[in-house]
Structure 1
Amino acid sequence: MAGRFWDPDGARYGIPTYPFRMAPAGLATRRQLRATGLRPGGQEVAAQLLWFSHRYRRKGCPPVRVAYLYRVDQARAVRPMTPRKWAALAKANAARRICPECRTDAGYVIPTSLGMCVACAHPEEQRAA
């Protein structure tokens, strides 16, 4: 199966394509770049990884996953967080903890599936306990 995704010159897929875990040195995914303190910095996708994954199979879609690769030598350093960015992030995280029903700080991030704190979503269970 690995031979199916081997296209280093990009003739079949349009950009150089490699099977999973067979990317050449000097290329990295966004996550790998971030782990080393780098970011793509506006560069175009240099290559891609393709692999089969039955874990993410959806009806009518082939179970092929993709990860885009960027050149490490053209990557730039991650921009440092400014005090204003830290403040905005803290404010956004605090807003995720406020229950829209009772307007109190729940002490945890409100689950999007409930849309409110657990005490407001299931009041009968809170009285029993």
Structure 2
Amino acid sequence: MAGRFWDPDGTRHGGIPTYPFRLAPEGLATRRQLRAAGLRPGGQDIAAQLLWYSSRYRRKGRSPVRVAYLYRIDRALPVRPMTPAKWAALAKANTARRICTECRTDAGYVVPTSLGMCVTCHDSEERRAA
């Protein structure tokens, strides 16, 4: 299967050099790998891509082939530092995630989006319905 994704010239996969999972050449990294190193792509174009099969995504209507784009490490730029305004906006957003939409109080934890309210309100609604 790995041979299907081996295309370092990019002739079969839209002009982008393509490699199988874990076989990318040195000097290339994914966004996550760049971020872990304190870098960002910095506006550069995609240098290559990784392709692999994933059984997790093998569902009707979905392609089981996953892709990760690779960027050149030597062209990557340092991550921009957080400004005080960005820190304040992030704190405000995280605080908003802790507010229950039903009782409008701070739940003390991030309210689950699957419930849409704090666990206490959800449990009391279930008791009323029963």
**TM-score of the two chains, using structure 1 as the length reference:** 0.93
Tell me the residue number matched to 1:120: 121
Deviation of the 1:99 alpha carbon = 0.7
Structure 1 residue ranges without an equivalent (≥5): none
Number of residue equivalences: 126
CA distance in structure 1 between the aligned counterparts of 2:123 and 2:70, rounded to whole angstroms: 46
Tell me how far apart the structure 1 counterparts of residues 63 and 105 of structure 2 sit (CA, whole Å): 45
Secondary structure of the 1:122 match is: helix
Q: Answer yes or no: is 1:6 the counterpart of 2:3.
A: no
* Structure-2 residue corresponding to 1:48: 49
Amino acid at match of 2:25: P
Identity fraction in percent: 81
CA–CA separation in structure 1 for the residues paired with 2:62 and 2:123: 38
TM-score, normalization: structure 2? 0.93
> CA separation in 2, counterparts of 1:99 and 1:62?
37
CA positional deviation for 1:103: 0.9
Within-5 A mapping of 1:31-70: 31-70=32-71
Q: CA deviation at 1:83?
A: 0.7
Give 1:104-119 correspondences, 5 Å limit. 104-119=105-120
**How many angstroms does 1:125 deviate by?**
7.5
Moved more, 96-105 or 52-61: 52-61
Amino acid at match of 1:51: W
* Structure 2 letter corresponding to 1:11: T
Aligned-CA RMSD value: 1.4
